[in-house]
């Protein structure tokens, strides 16, 4: 049991920031993201003995987090695009610096992407290796590269619409 606890602490310390970031990408709300991250790691703890080492543990954790976020969105019939945009604008009022405004705008643009596009681009921003993103999303690495290119083009178009104002 102590070995499992030690392993879990290591897994948590290595993955919690990225999982929280992923959850924030879905919710746009820091509290909800923290709740979803905690729920994800509760599931990791409960199922740690079921992990079969067929993939990286971080890949397994990302899948749990994505499913947890999607379930949260479905059960509450939330509309992340509207909520995310509103929450980002509210949360950025206290932080007027140009960099924070750019980050807020980036998340506002990401919020307008499809769910699977948000998952992929969030992992790219977290510098998750392409091979791992491909495994998590269930597509080939070549297809992933094409999708990332298209997502970046789409984000650029969305971003440019905001730049005109």
pLDDT tens digits, one per residue of 85-141: 444 444 443 434 555 677 777 777 887 888 788 888 888 888 888 998 888 888 899
Residue 148 pLDDT level (bands cut at 50, 70, 90):
very high
With beta carbons less than 8 A apart as the criterion, state whether 72 and 78 touch: yes
Residues 153, 83, 34, CA angle at the centre, nearest 5°? 95
Q: Between the CA of residue 32 and those of 23, 43, 142, 157, what are the distances in Å?
A: 8, 16, 34, 29
Residue matched to tokens 């298209």: 150
* pLDDT at residue 3 in the model: 79
Residue 95: what pLDDT? 39
* Most confident option among 20-24, 41-45, 85-89, 130-134: 41-45
Domain ranges, ordered by start, for the chain: 1-78
Say how many CA atoms lie within 13 Å of 120 toward its Cβ. Answer: 25
Please state the length of the chain.
Answer: 165
Fold assignment, 1-78: Rna Polymerase Sigma Factor; Chain: A (1.10.1740)
């Amino acid at each position: 049991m102590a070995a499992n606890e030690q392993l879990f602490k290591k897994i948590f310390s290595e993955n919690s920031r990225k999982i929280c970031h992923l959850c924030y990408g879905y919710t746009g709300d820091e509290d909800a993201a923290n709740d979803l991250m905690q729920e994800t790691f509760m599931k990791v703890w409960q199922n740690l003995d079921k992990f079969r080492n067929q993939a990286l543990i971080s890949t397994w954790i990302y899948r749990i987090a994505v499913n947890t976020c999607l379930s949260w969105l479905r059960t509450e019939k939330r509309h992340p695009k509207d909520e995310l945009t509103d929450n980002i604008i509210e949360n950025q009022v206290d932080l007027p610096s140009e960099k924070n405004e750019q980050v807020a705008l980036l998340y506002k643009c990401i919020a307008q992407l499809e769910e699977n596009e948000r998952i992929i681009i969030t992992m790219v921003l977290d510098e998750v290796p392409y091979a791992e993103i491909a495994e998590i999303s269930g597509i080939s690495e070549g297809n992933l590269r094409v999708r990332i290119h298209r997502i970046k083009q789409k984000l650029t178009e969305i971003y440019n619409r905001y730049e005109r104002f």
